Amino acid sequence: MSNLNFFRVMQASNFDAQSIPCNAGSVTFSGGNGYYVAQAVVLGKGIGPVTCSFNAQSVPDRFRIYWSGSTVADSLVVGDGLKSPSTYNSYTSSISSVSNLTTFNYNYTNNAWSTGSAQSVSYNSASFPPQSADNGNFRRDNGDTGFVQWNLSSSIGHPQYGNWGAQRGVVPNFPVGSGQNYSQSCVEGNVLLSFYKHTKFPTTFDIIIEGPTGGTAWDLFSVSCPTGTTLHSSSVSDQGTLRTIFHTAPTFDLRPGMTVYSDDKLQHPFSGSAENPHDTKVFIKSGSLPTNPPTTGPLDVSGSKFVCYNNPFTPWTENRLTISKGSSSSPGMIRAIECFSFV
């Protein structure tokens, strides 16, 4: 991976994606609150994980990654000040009254700023993760482990370990550290967002930062971009028969909207047994596990914890994919993922 090192933004920006490669040097700005849109980097045609690390500091901000027509990662409103219950309540009240923010556009080539139009925004209690102090009940090293269902339009439970409320793509156990400066709170201002770029196109993405209150200052420390394409496979049970499916994302990164194939050339979309004319349900038995780099093995990774889409689960977990069949308009496309724990 190539990296955009220490990219600091305290003012709104809208970068020309054709001008900033992923290995661009440092850029520094300063300013106030607003709606920040950065077409940050040219991702290229590589397939793999994309990560962005931020620091909201004390005054809350919201960080999002927008790719291929939808938000693929969302920190919600986070900041170190939210670890205090009284400060949390104060910010949820004041920010909920904000209805628009000024957009700022930046042309990287000309190194010139222009003020854009007002951007309508809406905030409520769901715009915030649950309030939690350091090592409180809602941390980045825990989450619901009983049931997860994630389909093309909605989710039940917590589809990603360490994400709370409507958070999405927040990497668990970040920041890494120890001692009094180490925090696992889900409102911690230091946050690492990630999504898996599973197709060659689109080759750019937007970073959207909302600074909904005065005095905000935030940092984007780094952006990592994929440089190649890696083939992954999973063993699945299709009506009791073990079959192999192939895909570009590791097994634990499979998500609705991705396509799986029956051949390693990724030419023939997978079509399972005839449960119904339009889709089939298969259970994952082994695949690419959430290690760095991913390893292959059974989903019982520790003897007492199972893995289901980046979640530690208790034993007897079922990991199920609903996949469109050949007779549908999108053969081989994952329509839903589900995780069950029966203990």
Summarize pLDDT for 140-194 with one digit per residue, the tens. Answer: 876 544 445 556 555 554 445 677 888 888 887 788 655 555 667 899 999 988 8
pTM value? 0.76
Structure tokens at 164: 């709370």
Looking from the CA of 196 toward its CB, the CA atoms found within 13 Å total: 19
Place of tokens 């209150």: 213
pLDDT for 8: 39
What's the one-letter identity of residue 187?
V
Q: Cβ atoms within 10 A of the Cβ of 285, count?
A: 14
> Which residues of the chain fall below pLDDT 50?
1-19, 24-31, 144-147, 157-159, 292-295, 297, 301-305, 313-314, 343
By C-alpha distance, which of 196, 169, 202, 319 is closest to 258? 196
What's the CA gap between 326 and 260, in Å, rounded? 12
pLDDT for 188: 93
Give Cα separations from 113 to 12, 15, 110, 255 (angstroms): 9, 10, 9, 38
Alpha-helical runs (H) found in the chain: 85-95
Interior/surface letters 311-333, b for 16+ CB within 10 angstroms, e for the rest:
bbbeeebbbbbbbbbeebeebbb
Per DSSP, what are the bridge partners of residue 73? 65
pLDDT for 96: 97
By C-alpha distance, which of 210, 37, 61 is closest to 116? 37
CB-based contacts of 27, cutoff 8 Å, min separation 6: 7, 8, 9, 108
Looking from the CA of 246 toward its CB, the CA atoms found within 13 Å total: 12
